Structure 1
Amino acid sequence: MTMQPGTIMRTARRALLALVLLGLCLAAWAQAAGQPAWRISVRDAACSYGPRVQLGEIAEIYGEPPAGLWERLSARELWNNPERTGRQVTVNREQLERLLRHYVPEVGQSWVLPSQLTVQYGGLLLERREIEKKVVEFLTPRAAGLGGEAEFKDFRLPEGVFVDNGSDTVAVDLAGPLAPGRVGLRLTVLTPDGKIVKRLSASVFMNLWKAVPSASKPLNRMHPLEPDDVTFMRRNLAYIPDVWDGSGGPWRIAQPVGKGQPITKAHLEPLPAVARGEKVMLVYQGERIQMAVKAEALSDGDVGQTVAVRNLQTKKEISGTVVDNHTVLVR
């Protein structure tokens, strides 16, 4: 049965209205169940600048708190800061929960707490999103040299990097060659005069989408690779190690390749001048006589190498030297 356009529109409006009513019911249920409409989320790293840590320095509020609540709570003083600038204090989740219950008892259970919190007295905190931005800015022009389209994901970075002052910088460098897949990085905190303050390890996963040589049809072992055997298909090189770049040759297939499958270096081997099973001219060359007969190569061989051949007339096997793609010489 085919529905008319008007019927479809009425059905869609009813479905949308039902979703809205469901959302309102869930919100009312949550409020009736005593769930707060706001939460205070504590960061896992922060800097503090006064004699005592203030709540607003280590946390932020989400949701819809009562008017003026956060303005009042954010200035709440907590524990003492260290006496010396640059010193850090780390507390685990259990310790943090006890401290907040003591200093901010009115919040109750409306906390979102990290596994641990590190607070530095003074200095600056370079947050994770800033580090990620630096990494992308560093890698993008370098990945362009690989060709194709690069994507960066699964950043394994510090949640934050503490620096002593605003003049310190964080430099990004490669820990090894740049290639698709997991890329190792080094993060170095430097003073304005180039002194190394600290070193950190990091990494990111790089996808590299590129048109690569692929089999236009199934290719069996020992098959000489011809131009018509190859097509180009867009693939992610992060999951294709040692893909063939289309250069070199002549080649033949060392391992079978399915239709549409990328051709890697492992699929190829050099095509010998004479391949086993090929027909060649077996040339006998002496001081006073030279003759040529048809023969079959019994092994592979390049120019200058010795191969075994079978004389197709006498059926005898003999060894000779490969002269070119069609000739084996016996002296």
Structure 2
Amino acid sequence: MTSIAAWAQDNVENPETIRSAALNFIRAHLPARSAGMHIHLEGPAPGVHFPACAKLEVSYFGYSNPYGNQTVQVLCQAPSTWQLYLPVQIQVDQAVVIAARPLTAGSIIEAGDLAVVRRNTSGLSSSTIRSPQAAIGKILRFGTLAGQPITTSMLNAPDVVHAGEQVTLYAQGDGIRIATIADAIENGRPGQSIMVRNLQSGRVVRGTVTPQGHVVVNF
């Protein structure tokens, strides 16, 4: 291994000094809770030498999101000016909810259907679920394989209104809110638009299902 003294004698910057400066910069700019993060820094390329530098300056080049693929710039301004760009990848291991076994579309998810593992999340969707409680009781929109991460887009809330049952229908607008009883014509989840029949007027209207199982029509 070439000693630091040898690098200084050749008036060439030690590549390990460049790497250390870049790594120290990256670690200093990671979020406070950086446990489970792995830094992969590439370069400097073997055989490429830079003049010795009195002080190395490091900064992010381009998008400075600390996760995923990034680039850092290493700059020297004295005694000579040079710069290089080093690719860096930040891998983050976090808790991820996965299917513990193959699941079929339409299944109502139970605790035994899920498992929690630690995985590198830099390549996963931001909608990946971190806690089983966010999925239990939800309806799976399509089938999954064992080990597949569960995302919010894969789930539907269960129906809180069922066709044929009576619901409270609210008509509201301009500061007025009127409540009546209606028959649900369709099943409905929170936020879904369904048709109901107003028992008082006999009219069929379309309204939005609330998390409480009511239906609201705005006018």
Could you state the TM-score of these two structures normalised by the residue count of structure 1?
0.44
1:161 aligns with 2:50: yes
Shift in Å, 1:169: 1.2
- Which of 110, 115, 135 is residue 231 of structure 1 equivalent to? 115
* Residues in 2 aligned to 1:172 and 1:285: alpha-carbon distance in whole angstroms: 60
* Residues in 2 aligned to 1:131 and 1:162: alpha-carbon distance in whole angstroms: 11
Q: Specify the SS of the correspondent of 1:126.
A: coil
Shift in Å, 1:189: 1.3
* Residues in 2 aligned to 1:160 and 1:172: alpha-carbon distance in whole angstroms: 17
Q: Specify the SS of the correspondent of 1:242.
A: coil
Higher relative contact order (CA 8 A, sep 6+): 2
* Residues in 2 aligned to 1:162 and 1:197: alpha-carbon distance in whole angstroms: 9
Q: Specify the SS of the correspondent of 1:235.
A: strand
Structure 2: runs of 5+ lacking an equivalent: 1-5, 172-178
Q: Structure 1 residues 243, 308: CA separation in 2 closer, same or farther (over 3 Å shift)?
A: closer
More helix as a share of residues: 1
Corresponding position of 1:109: none
Q: Structure 1 residues 279, 260: CA separation in 2 closer, same or farther (over 3 Å shift)?
A: farther
The question of whether the paired residues in 1 share the 8 Å contact of 2:94 and 2:120 is answered with yes
* Residues in 2 aligned to 1:199 and 1:266: alpha-carbon distance in whole angstroms: 44
Structure 1: runs of 5+ lacking an equivalent: 1-45, 50-56, 58-123
Shift in Å, 1:320: 3.5
- Which one has a bigger Cα radius of gyration? 1
Please say which of residues 239-248 and 170-179 is displaced more in the overlay.
Answer: 239-248
Q: Deviations over 1:69-123 (max 9, x none)?
A: xxxxxxxxxxxxxxxxxxxxxxxxxxxxxxxxxxxxxxxxxxxxxxxxxxxxxxx
* Residues in 1 aligned to 2:196 and 2:134: alpha-carbon distance in whole angstroms: 25
- Which of 133, 147, 161 is residue 260 of structure 1 equivalent to? 147
Q: Deviations over 1:215-260 (max 9, x none)?
A: 3344455656666554320212244343625379686545543222
Shift in Å, 1:179: 0.7
Could you state the TM-score of these two structures normalised by the residue count of structure 2?
0.61
Corresponding position of 1:197: 81
Corresponding position of 2:186: 296
* Residues in 2 aligned to 1:223 and 1:216: alpha-carbon distance in whole angstroms: 14
- Which of 163, 166, 169 is residue 281 of structure 1 equivalent to? 166
Shift in Å, 1:322: 2.8
* Residues in 1 aligned to 2:38 and 2:109: alpha-carbon distance in whole angstroms: 32
User: Match for 2:59: what amino acid?
Assistant: D
Q: Specify the SS of the correspondent of 1:262.
A: coil
Q: Specify the SS of the correspondent of 2:21.
A: helix
Where in structure 2 are the equivalents of 1:33-44 lying within 5 Å?
Answer: none
User: Match for 1:327: what amino acid?
Assistant: H
Q: Structure 1 residues 263, 279: CA separation in 2 closer, same or farther (over 3 Å shift)?
A: farther
User: Match for 2:73: what amino acid?
Assistant: R
Corresponding position of 1:183: 70
Q: Specify the SS of the correspondent of 2:13.
A: strand
